Amino acid sequence: MVYGEATGMVQQGQEVDGLITEWHRRYKSHEKLFKRRLRKPSLARRGNIFDSLRNAKDPNGDPISLQSAEYECFVFTVGAQDTTAAFMSAFVDHVLRNPDVKSRLLDEIDHFNRAGKISFPVPSYEETTTMPYFMACCRETLRLSPSVSMILPRYASAGGMFIGDTWVPNHTEISANPFVLHRDKQIFGEDADDFDPDRWLGNLQQVRTMEKYFFAFGYGSRKCIGRHVAVFEAQKFFVQLFRDFDVQYCHRERPCRVENWGINVYFEQYVQLTRRQLVPDKQ
């Protein structure tokens, strides 16, 4: 999507340019990808981000700088990979740390699967959206562990605005952090620090209030433009993973370590996968 060609990891069956193991040097690895693409003008075609940026103009009608194009390509590359990976890691972590949640999730997936409502071998996105408890688990994961847990700055609108009782002048930079906002007990309840998917299955008015302040992908005109792709990928992956495999942490006493690098990064999240056998519906 970004460069009009694959990185080569699937084709070679191995890591390329340190894109996985050298996360802390991700920008250096990205520079290699950008320069490699510059050397391949034959790949120029409509539909990839690199060529769209190379043809883009600034407000004065001049081509944007090569440095700006490189930075934007970096943002799209990281945004597409690392934020989605953080969502996937968080979902697995919360489900495995909460046995009751895992049990209910598997019951729902198995029930829909036996009813022929989940395609094989790969579920469709539309099918995943029909499972209420599963969708509640997805929402609760993004609420409690938003992939981007840092301030998301904006400028106050023309003419200024009130935030509560405070007047904010025109063009003042303001920001909010979804990690903090999603723990507001006045909005999400007294148990806002807990992982509880049922909060999304309760009172409809309360759910609408929570949705109003849901900030995992940003808000307004600057909302994440790749959110639909991220959710599409993740939901299909979750359903197929938990339908086909029993997932357990290898080290239950120390499941994983999470660090906030602007994007949540999960370390040492080792799991054991065992092929599942479907069981009859509970009577």
Please give the single-letter amino acid code of residue 32.
Answer: K
pLDDT recorded at residue 185? 97
Q: Are residues 135 and 129 in contact, defined by beta-carbon separation less than 8 angstroms? A: yes
Confidence of residue 200 (pLDDT cuts 50, 70, 90): very high
pLDDT in tens, 201-254: 999 999 999 999 999 988 887 788 788 889 999 999 999 999 999 999 998 888
pLDDT at 187 over 80: yes
**Rounded to 5, what percent of the chain is helix, strand, coil?**
50, 15, 40
Element (DSSP H or E) covering residue 260: strand 257-260
pTM summary value: 0.80
pLDDT in tens, 7-20: 788 888 887 777 66
pLDDT at 122 over 90: yes
pLDDT at 167 over 50: yes
Q: Are residues 73 and 7 in contact, defined by beta-carbon separation less than 8 angstroms? A: no
- Angle (nearest 5°) at CA 118 between 116 and 122: 135
* Phi/psi at 224 (5° precision): -55, 120
- Angle (nearest 5°) at CA 25 between 67 and 228: 70
pLDDT recorded at residue 283? 45
Average pLDDT over every residue of 244-268 = 89
Q: How far apart are CA 168 and CA 149, in angstroms?
A: 24
Assign residue 156 a region: left if phi > 0, alpha if psi is -120 to 50, beta otherwise? beta
Which of 16 and 104 is assigned the larger pLDDT?
A: 104
pLDDT at 178 over 70: yes
pLDDT recorded at residue 80? 67
Helices and strands: H and E segment counts in the chain: 11, 8
Average confidence score pLDDT of the chain: 87
Which pair of structure tokens corresponds to residue 64? 């944007």
pLDDT recorded at residue 56? 87
pLDDT in tens, 59-97: 888 888 888 888 788 777 776 678 889 999 999 999 999
Which of 183 and 48 is assigned the larger pLDDT?
A: 183
Both ends of the chain: CA-CA distance in Å? 47
Q: Are residues 160 and 170 in contact, defined by beta-carbon separation less than 8 angstroms? A: yes
